[in-house]
């Protein structure tokens, strides 16, 4: 099951070039970037042109957001955490990993930086916005404990229907997973995965279909998800437990929901930028962070 792409901030090398050129202009003579038969392109020419690009302010904002987050919370996100997440994506996409990066506009290094930005954003969220008792009680109404399922992901509905027919005829789920599933990360272990209701990498449709199953049951019709069609079998669906014993999981569930809410995360980033005294000196780029300036976190 491929993880859904959830990278909030895309860092671009153009923004880095923009700031470097800005520094160069104030500290040394205008350098030549390139020449042609009719003249040359200087750093000031290039910098001026960059500032006219519609995407430059967005790239500058992204760069400042990353640096502010990293300065504030960098010690809370280890290199190992980022590398583990990177390796998970790499394993998930296998030989298609480079194509995945290219399609999403990433190099390997910028992808790692975006993953780090996600982790830093989550740390900031937990530091700046606390979960109330009433919010935990609201989450309890739809809470699901950790479940274990087997699944077979197919690229088309007809294959998924055939899998269901094969299961009805008595064929083994794990064997079918090895032959029919396109999820390279789970097919060789029978398609087995475990997850909680706050899991952010699984398609919500997948989780909803799984939670409806009792132990030993499997979906009778293909489940349409982002990457294709799923057949799901419930292995272990435990009892819900009590509110008190589930508070830790409920808190994680609320934070996971908030992290997917763009308006909440924008307010969090706004507070980080304010706390880090982020100021843009270039008057032509001064409004790059305007969408954040009037926002504040809501506890």
Question: Is 60 within 8 Å of 280 (Cβ atoms)?
Answer: yes
Amino acid 92: pLDDT: 80
Tokens of 209: 């279909």
Give Cβ neighbours of residue 289 (< 8 Å, ≥ 6 apart). 61, 64, 273, 278, 280
Section 185-189 average pLDDT = 92
In the block, tokens 């895309």 appear at 10
Q: Is 3.10.50.40 the CATH classification of the domain at 144-236? A: yes
Percentage of the chain exceeding pLDDT 70: 89
Rounded CA separation 29/14 (Å):
21
Residue-range domain boundaries for the chain:
51-132+261-294, 144-236
- Between β-strands 147-154 and 192-195, what pairing exists: parallel, antiparallel or unpaired? antiparallel
Show the tokens assigned to 261: 């809410």
Question: Is 214 a residue whose pLDDT tops 70?
Answer: yes
pLDDT for the residue numbered 42? 94
Alpha-carbon gap, residue 124 to 110, rounded angstroms: 21
Q: For the whole model, what pTM was predicted?
A: 0.73
Predicted confidence (pLDDT) per residue in 81-135, tens digit: 999 999 999 988 888 999 999 999 899 999 999 999 999 999 999 999 999 999 9
Q: What are phi and psi of 118, to 5 degrees?
A: -60, -45
Distances from the Cα of 248 to the Cα of 140, 243, 245, angstroms: 11, 10, 8
């Amino acid at each position: 099951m491929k993880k859904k792409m959830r990278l909030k901030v895309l860092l671009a090398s153009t923004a880095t070039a923009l700031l470097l050129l800005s520094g160069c202009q104030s500290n040394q003579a205008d350098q030549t970037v390139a020449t042609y038969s009719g003249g040359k392109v200087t750093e000031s020419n290039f910098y001026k042109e960059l500032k006219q690009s519609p995407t430059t302010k967005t790239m500058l904002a992204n760069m400042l957001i990353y640096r502010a987050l990293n300065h504030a919370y960098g010690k809370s996100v280890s290199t190992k955490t980022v590398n583990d997440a990177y390796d998970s994506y790499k394993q998930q996409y296998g030989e298609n990993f480079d194509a995945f990066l290219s399609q999403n506009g990433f190099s390997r290094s910028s992808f790692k930086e975006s993953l780090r930005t996600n982790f830093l954003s989550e740390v900031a969220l937990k530091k700046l916005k606390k979960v109330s008792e009433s919010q935990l009680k609201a989450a309890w109404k739809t809470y699901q404990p950790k479940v274990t399922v087997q699944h077979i992901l197919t690229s088309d509905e007809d294959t998924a229907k055939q899998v269901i027919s094969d299961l009805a005829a008595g064929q083994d789920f794990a064997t079918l997973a090895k032959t029919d599933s396109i999820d390279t990360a789970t097919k060789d272990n029978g398609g087995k995965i475990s997850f909680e209701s706050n899991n952010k990498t699984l398609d919500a449709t997948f989780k909803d279909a799984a939670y409806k199953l009792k132990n030993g049951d499997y979906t009778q019709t293909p489940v349409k998800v982002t990457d294709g069609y799923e057949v799901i079998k419930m292995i272990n669906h435990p009892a819900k437990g009590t509110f008190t014993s589930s508070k830790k999981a409920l808190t994680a569930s609320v934070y996971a929901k908030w992290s997917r809410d763009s308006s909440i995360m924008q307010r969090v980033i706004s507070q980080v930028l304010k706390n880090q005294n982020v100021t843009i000196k270039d008057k032509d780029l001064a409004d790059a962070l305007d969408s954040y300036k009037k926002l504040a976190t809501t506890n």
